[in-house]
Structure 1
């Protein structure tokens, strides 16, 4: 793995204390905790953005199901009355 150039960022003081407490509890460095948090944030939000793009494309192509039908299917699957 090649090292990427780094650039400083600013974190609010209160958050640094929380990060440090978490790092100490995990026996990890502050840098490790911050990088893990950023990786997880980017992965989750990247996944969400991709699903939104796919949903918009499906909508433009008419590949949709009315919400009432979806809710009725969910209710039927779980035995709920609507």
Structure 2
């Protein structure tokens, strides 16, 4: 397990202290959880973007008719109406 120092502004420190007290967890634990959650979300988002770029590069798009059918199925108004 790695150890690192982080500088936080006073408001963030106060919020972290309050949350630690309310949850019975340490500031270190909560900060680690926040970093883990952030990294997981960012890794997921980057993977989704990369997949979308691959699909776009491959020309993997819906036709106009397929898009219209999807809008009808979802009950969504067509753009411009």
Task: Name the TM-score class by shorter chain.
Answer: 0.7 to 0.9
CA deviation profile, 1:15-59 (whole Å, cap 9, x unmatched): 000011011110000001111111111101110110000100110
Q: Distance in 2 between matches of 1:7 and 1:66?
A: 51
Q: CA RMSD in A?
A: 2.1
Runs of 4+ in 1 over 6 A off after TM superposition: none
* Counterpart in the other structure of 1:25: 22
Task: Give the alignment's TM-score, normalised by structure 1.
Answer: 0.78
Gaps of 5+ in 2: none
CA separation of 1:35/1:76 partners in 2, compared to 1, >3 Å: closer, same or farther? same
Count of residues in correspondence between the two structures? 76
* Counterpart in the other structure of 1:8: 5
Task: Give the alignment's TM-score, normalised by structure 2.
Answer: 0.79
Q: Distance in 1 between matches of 2:43 and 2:18?
A: 28
